[in-house]
Amino acid sequence: MLIVKEKWDNHNCLTILNFYDEENNHVGHISADITDHGDRKSVFIFNMGSYVKGKGIGTQMIEYLKSMDGVTKINGDIDPDSTGFWLKIGFIQSEDEDEFEYRVSNK
């Protein structure tokens, strides 16, 4: 189970989510624009980093976003090297292949 610490970056107008393991080691981050549309929220990921590879940290970070109240859509730019990760966790690539998207089906 990851511990999440959220902060607002006034300079870049982004939400920064920092993720820590049970021993308080910083294991990853997501920089995102979380937009409230009234009855739903969307998340656009600008940057994501998992500092521990092969332990499911990246997947847990995305699962956290999916579980946030009101979130119905998650998308963002993708690094071509990470395409396999995004497809594995259920995202789809846009036609221009520079962006991915996931629609949360139960919300």
pLDDT class of 65 with cuts at 50, 70, 90: very high
pLDDT class of 95 with cuts at 50, 70, 90: confident
pLDDT class of 36 with cuts at 50, 70, 90: very high
Domain boundaries 3-103, CATH class = alpha beta
Q: Is the pLDDT reported for residue 107 higher than 50?
A: no
Report the 3 state secondary structure along the chain. Answer: CCEEEEEEECCCCEEEEEEECCCCCEEEEEEEEEEECCCCEEEEEEEEEECCCCCCHHHHHHHHHHHCCCEEEEEEECCHHHHHHHHHCCCEECCCCCEEEEECCCC
Q: Is the pLDDT reported for residue 85 higher than 80?
A: yes
Domain borders along the chain are 3-103
